[in-house]
Chains A and B, each alone.
Chain A
Amino acid sequence: MSGAADRPADLKESPSQTAGPYVHIGCLPNHAGLGGPWAEDLGARPFADDAPGTRVVVTGCLLDGTGTPLRDAMVEIWQADAAGRYAGGGAAGFARRASDAETGLWRLETIKPGAVPGPDGRIQAPHLTLWIVARGINLGLHTRMYFPDETAANAADPVLGRIEQTARARTLVAEARGDGVYHFDIHLQGEKETVFFDV
């Protein structure tokens, strides 16, 4: 038993609580109109202006079980660069957006990510990882957004392949709106419910 005694007792992860309706005060204070204390909100720009890659615009909306847009949500995005690499110890590829207080829409100007290595030497299709918090959400929701013009890569993607109900896998593919604009609605509940992950 000596080895066990050397190890600290296992701790439990701090339980999650909702971010509440005023998450912007702490996470997007300039968006909240607080006027400081810092000049730019965290995650305002996912990549430097001169970062290589194809510029794309991602728009989206979160909808509740009645089809009503959430106007108080925060969406965080984590993605690889154009070469499929995650920032090594930095924050490039991270972005944070609030749903518009009137329409519920959010908008991100970013770079289309490259394909990322997956388990067992397989390749993951280009994707964004999204984490969603809001009033009424007790534990942040993880999901992914894939690109509609990556049909072959999506078909071979190991994560999309885990979704037994193939009709539901389509909830993770954005809609192409031309000129590099992709729209991604996230349905929290109901007939079109988006796939969420326990990562």
Chain B
Amino acid sequence: MSDAPFVARDRAWHPPALSPAYRTSVSRSPRHAPISFPQTLSETTGPVFGHDLPGPRDNDLIHNFAAPGAAAIGPRIIVHGRVTEETGRPVPGALLEVWQANAGGRYRHRKEGYIAPLDPNFGGCGRVITDADGAYHLRTVQPGAYPWPNGGNDWRPAHIHFSVFGSGFGQRLITQMYFEGDPLIWRCPILQAIPSEAAVKTLIATLDMRASVPMDCLAYRFDIVLRGRRQTLFENRMEGG
């Protein structure tokens, strides 16, 4: 495994720490600039999880919390895609952890007080490790939108949270996946914290009829990009200059 340093993160592409319309960020954002230093082994290495970590149903949220013979209620979907680095190189062995609300927008969490009911057959968490091509797939129910105490009438678009481990701790990333065509996307202060429309669009999964299963479930495609590793000119000579 390479310990080459990562390409610098484009922090203007990511949401800034302070984005006042997302009100909790106001008191939870540093005021000092972050400090850069040449990456060391502490940043270029990271935990690597074996393919034996996820159990056989860990990537099936329709069933992994359900009573025997039962299934979660809601639109049945496959979510699939690839994890690559910025260079386009696939990231095999990447651990993805996901969590989400149920079809009614209710999370299974003790601090959650939304009136929409829990689904007794839905937990809302799953995990999967990418294959040799960087590909992954999950099965779940499409989550619902839900209200949150920010502005007077703010609703999160339907979304699935993704936590991603690449091959180094400097690649560590948590993000959210949204659904094509959801009109709440462009009203959400958490998404509006992202500076460019182009960047927002990379978080919107597209309906993928080719991967759907007739009479069973629809499919959405969501690709994830992690920081690339720098290559030395000794390993990769410049060409065509």
Q: Which residue numbers of A lie inside 8 Å of B, CB to CB?
A: 1-4, 7-27, 29, 32-34, 36-38, 42-43, 64-66, 68, 70, 72, 76, 78, 80, 86-87, 89-91, 93-94, 101, 116-119, 124, 127, 129, 131, 133-142, 144, 158-159, 162-163, 168, 188-190, 193-199
B74 at the binding interface (Cβ < 8 Å): no
A168 to B123, CA, bound (A): 43
Q: How large is the interface on B (under 10, 10 to 19, 20 to 34, 35 or more residues)?
A: 35 or more
Q: A14-B224, A70-B28, A196-B35 are in contact. Are A78 and B161 (CB under 8 A)?
A: no
B124 at the binding interface (Cβ < 8 Å): yes
A127 in complex: contacting residue of B35, B42, B46, B176, CB < 8 Å: B42
B45 at the binding interface (Cβ < 8 Å): yes
**A124 pairs with B17, CB closer than 8 A:** no
Q: A34-B125, A198-B34 are in contact. Are A14 and B175 (CB under 8 A)?
A: yes
**B28 pairs with A64, CB closer than 8 A:** yes
B30 at the binding interface (Cβ < 8 Å): yes
A67 to B55, CA, bound (A): 41
In the complex, what residue of chain A is closest to B54 when comparing beta carbons? A38
Interface string of B36-53 (1 = CB under 8 A from A): 111111110111110001
**B28 pairs with A137, CB closer than 8 A:** yes
- Which residues in A have their C-beta under 8 angstroms from that of B26? 65, 136
- Which residues in A have their C-beta under 8 angstroms from that of B141? none
Q: Say how far A63's CB is from chain B's closest CB, in angstroms.
A: 10
A42 to B239, CA, bound (A): 44
Closest 9 CB pairs of A and B: A26-B99, A3-B239, A136-B24, A8-B88, A3-B240, A136-B28, A94-B47, A91-B47, A138-B15
Majority DSSP secondary structure for residues of B touching A: loop
B40 in complex: contacting residue of A91, A124, A195, CB < 8 Å: A124
Q: A15-B194, A19-B163, A159-B40 are in contact. Are A37 and B55 (CB under 8 A)?
A: yes
Residue of B10, B29, B127 contacting most chain A CB atoms (<10 Å): B29
**A86 pairs with B45, CB closer than 8 A:** yes
**A136 pairs with B25, CB closer than 8 A:** yes
Residue pairs across A and B with Cβ atoms less than 8 A apart, 16 shown, are A4-B239, A4-B240, A11-B84, A16-B175, A25-B123, A32-B110, A34-B124, A42-B49, A65-B26, A76-B172, A78-B47, A136-B24, A136-B29, A162-B35, A189-B31, A199-B6
A43 to B49, CA, bound (A): 11
- Which residues in A have their C-beta under 8 angstroms from that of B169? 78, 129, 131
A86 to B46, CA, bound (A): 8
In the complex, what residue of chain B is closest to A73 when comparing beta carbons? B28
**B47 pairs with A38, CB closer than 8 A:** no
**A196 pairs with B40, CB closer than 8 A:** no
**A17 pairs with B176, CB closer than 8 A:** yes
18 more contacts with CB within 8 A, not counting A25-B109, A198-B35, are A2-B240, A4-B240, A15-B200, A15-B202, A17-B174, A17-B194, A25-B125, A26-B99, A29-B125, A64-B28, A78-B45, A80-B41, A101-B110, A116-B40, A116-B41, A142-B170, A159-B37, A198-B34
- Which residues in A have their C-beta under 8 angstroms from that of B11? 139, 198
- Which residues in B have their C-beta under 8 angstroms from that of A15? 13-15, 175, 194, 199-200, 202-203
B27 at the binding interface (Cβ < 8 Å): yes
